[in-house]
């Protein structure tokens, strides 16, 4: 068989299992209404939790930033690509999160690839939640390739994690977890995890991609939601393309930890810095997040309205206080059929299947936004009841 034939065979197997993926091309900015495939769809597929991705003020900040600073940074941060907007953004993110320093990245994936493999190598141990995001799993595998002992504990099982930590003789330990799990919408027990980190002298690496901008006072994230201190043993990753509405990510931590990542993290050192105009837009976004209590109230009202409306449906709705509301159908094809039926009625709700989620838990991943209206929620609920 030729190389292409081998790939075609595997693609056919993927299709037969109901696991094929495809892209849809939008002909409109990100928002509650998406122009796609020649029609307008009510969009429940976006992580734009505060409705800022299409905000004209952020677009103007980015345009003004491009006019002032050019289209690109020209180099990696440590060469000549660290411009004043990058530096100002890092300082403002540090002040906003309460950590001494932050380091910005072009994507959340790069940020997660920076932390765990840099801090964990031969003689060290990583303890990771089984439902962590793919970027954390890949980071864990890189740490394993560096010689670290890697162990995964059952989802949110503090007792199991405690036993693993107690049995470890590693010189350096890392507990790695999502704060808000991207496919279930539930929260990690961060207070208990921080207590274990303190008891067993471990780092606590937190991916707050879906909590930053949404949870806690002023949208400061999951640590603020739990009223936790900014401990020097915490490294906090937050993405800036979801609630923040733009793109990129940051890692926040102690001055020493951030300086160590700056000197040692390969996905930071060997990557061209993001365009400075992105940093300009993010500085404007940070101001909107800090003053966005009305947006967060609307988002959480939408969450409550949806959960009340679908409570009697035959599918499982796990406990989630966040913008991510998974409706678990189970069977892959049944999930695809339900998503297609919604699509045909003008509602865009993506079907999520293995390997993104465990076998037998295929689901609709309903993502809510402050931009959604009560009528939008009622329309989705009514259609789901009709299809049920």
Joined together, the tokens standing for residue 20 give: 């094929």
Q: Is 133 within any annotated ligand binding site? A: yes
From residue 159, alpha-carbon distances to 22, 72, 164, 384 in Å are 40, 48, 9, 38
**Start-to-end Cα distance in the chain:** 45
239 labelled ligand-binding: yes
Q: Looking at residue 218, what DSSP letter applies?
A: G
In 3D space, the residue among 162, 243, 16 whose CA is nearest the CA of residue 175 turns out to be 162
Handedness of CA 90, 91, 94, 97 (dihedral sign): negative
Whether the CB-CB separation of 326 and 368 falls below 8 Å is answered with: no
Cα separation, 242 vs 211, in Å, equals 9
Sign of CA dihedral 21, 25, 30, 32: negative
118 belongs to an annotated ligand binding site = no
Q: Decide if 210 contacts 238 (C-beta within 8 A).
A: no
- Three-class secondary structure of residue 273 per DSSP: coil
Q: Is 155 annotated as a binding residue?
A: no
Instruction: State yes or no: 72 annotated in a binding site.
Output: no
Is 77 within any annotated ligand binding site? no
Write out the catalytic residue numbers: 182, 210, 242
Binding residues for pyridoxal 5'-phosphate: 108-109, 182, 210, 239
Binding residues: 21, 108-109, 133, 182, 210, 239, 356
Binding residues for substrate: 21, 133, 356
């Amino acid at each position: 068989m030729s190389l292409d034939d081998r790939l075609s065979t595997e693609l056919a197997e993927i299709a037969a299992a109901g696991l094929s993926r495809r892209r849809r091309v939008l002909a409109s900015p990100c928002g509650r209404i998406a122009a796609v495939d020649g029609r307008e769809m009510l969009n429940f597929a976006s992580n734009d939790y505060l409705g800022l991705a299409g905000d004209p003020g952020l677009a103007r900040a980015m345009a003004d930033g491009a006019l002032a600073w050019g289209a690109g940074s020209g180099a990696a941060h440590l060469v000549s690509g660290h411009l004043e907007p990058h530096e100002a953004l890092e300082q403002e993110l540090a002040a906003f999160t309460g950590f001494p320093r932050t380091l910005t990245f072009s994507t959340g994936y790069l940020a997660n690839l920076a932390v765990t493999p840099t801090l964990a190598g031969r003689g060290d141990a990583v303890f990771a939640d089984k439902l962590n995001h793919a970027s954390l799993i890949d980071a864990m595998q890189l740490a394993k390739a560096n010689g670290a002992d890697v162990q995964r504990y059952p989802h949110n099982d503090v007792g199991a994690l405690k036993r693993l930590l107690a049995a470890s003789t590693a010189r350096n330990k890392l507990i790695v977890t999502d704060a808000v799990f991207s496919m279930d919408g539930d929260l990690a027990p961060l207070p208990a995890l921080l207590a274990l980190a303190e008891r067993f002298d471990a780092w606590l690496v937190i991916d707050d991609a879906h909590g930053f901008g949404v949870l806690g006072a002023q949208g400061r994230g999951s640590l603020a939601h739990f009223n936790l201190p900014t401990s020097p043993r915490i490294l906090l990753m937050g993405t800036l393309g979801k609630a923040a509405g733009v793109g990129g990510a940051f890692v926040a931590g102690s001055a020493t930890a951030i300086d160590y990542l700056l000197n040692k993290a390969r996905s930071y050192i060997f990557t061209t810095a993001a365009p400075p105009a992105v940093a300009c837009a993010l500085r404007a976004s940070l101001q909107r997040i800090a003053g966005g209590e009305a947006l967060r109230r609307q988002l959480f009202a939408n969450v409550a309205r949806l959960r009340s409306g679908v409570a009697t449906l035959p599918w499982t709705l796990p406990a989630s206080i966040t913008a991510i509301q998974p409706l678990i159908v189970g069977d892959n094809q049944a999930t695809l059929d339900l998503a297609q039926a919604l699509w045909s009625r003008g509602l865009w709700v993506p079907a999520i299947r293995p390997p993104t989620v465990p076998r037998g838990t295929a689901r609709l991943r309903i993502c809510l936004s402050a931009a959604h209206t009560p009528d939008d929620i009622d329309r989705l609920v009514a259609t789901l009841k009709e299809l049920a």
